Amino acid sequence: MKPSRPTVTVIVCAYNEERYLGACLQSLQSQTLLPDQIIVVNNASSDGTGQVAAAVPGVHLLDEPRRGLVVAREAARHAATGELLLWLDADCRAPREWVDRLVRRFEADPRVVAVSGPCRFYDWHPFGRVVLWAYDHTVAPLTHLLVHHALRRGAILYGGNFGVRRETLAAIGGFDTSIEFHGEDTNLARRLRPHGRLVLAHNCYLRTSARRYRAMGMWQVFRLYVRNYWSQIIHARAKDTTHVDVRN
């Protein structure tokens, strides 16, 4: 008998995301493999984020009054029931096969504890899209090879697009809520690495907004991400302890 598929919880952490959240949830309800549970964490929003989530049938709305992405992630971890926890940002739109592709990666190898994929921007100029495509297909996989397989210090894990086994996440104590924002995904990858394999899968991509790049400038964002990534890998802490809110 073919073993049953693992149960899946998809989690969206949202702070003042009423503009984007509806499209994100619609994409999740159009999946070829529907998740067993969808959680939206309304993270101290002052807009209609909670009302948008509450209006979608089958979505579990979790209010977390303590503001902070990592705090919201940890609250969702405790509320989730799935064996696999899949995370995407509220400004993301998931292709119809996204859940199925992530689950298949876990099913293919029990040693895999996390899977992550890149993002493709639906609202950015062609040059920016080309630059990010080049990064995702050259720098990212080479960095993943170096850090994950050679140094065994972590992996490339995109914070807006990843899945993790719930039992492994519990084994490392969940998310590090002392992190303000930057480096939380690299911190997670670094702590997961001793427990198994982390896979970087290009076909598990999401579509997302380029609003941070538009607000801050492409090269500034690149520098920000690079220095915080390597600070986590080398020093086990983020370089930047505050972040710019680009929602407005």
Domains of the chain: 8-235 (3.90.550.10)
pLDDT digit string (tens) for the chain, length 248 residues: 566 899 999 999 999 999 999 999 999 999 999 999 999 999 999 999 999 999 999 999 999 999 999 999 999 999 999 999 999 999 999 999 999 999 999 999 999 999 999 999 999 999 999 999 999 999 999 999 999 999 999 999 999 999 999 999 999 999 999 999 999 999 999 999 999 999 999 999 999 999 999 999 999 999 999 999 999 999 999 999 999 999 86
Q: What is the SS3 assignment for 197-248?
A: EEEECHHHCEEECCHHHHHHCHHHHHHHHHHHHHHHHHHCCCCCCCCCCCCC
Q: Count CB neighbours of 195 within 10 A.
A: 16
- Position 1 scores a pLDDT of 57
- Position 247 scores a pLDDT of 82
* Helices and strands (DSSP H and E) totals, the chain: 10, 9
Q: Strands 161-165 and 84-89, how do they pair? A: antiparallel
- Position 231 scores a pLDDT of 97
What is the rounded distance in angstroms from the CA atom of residue 219 to the CA atom of residue 213?
Answer: 8
Give this prediction's pTM: 0.96
Retrieve residue 158's tokens.
Answer: 């995109």
Residues composing the chain: 248
Retrieve residue 246's tokens.
Answer: 């680009």
End-to-end Cα spacing for the chain: 53
Phi (first) and psi of residue 221, to 5 degrees: -65, -40
- Position 4 scores a pLDDT of 87
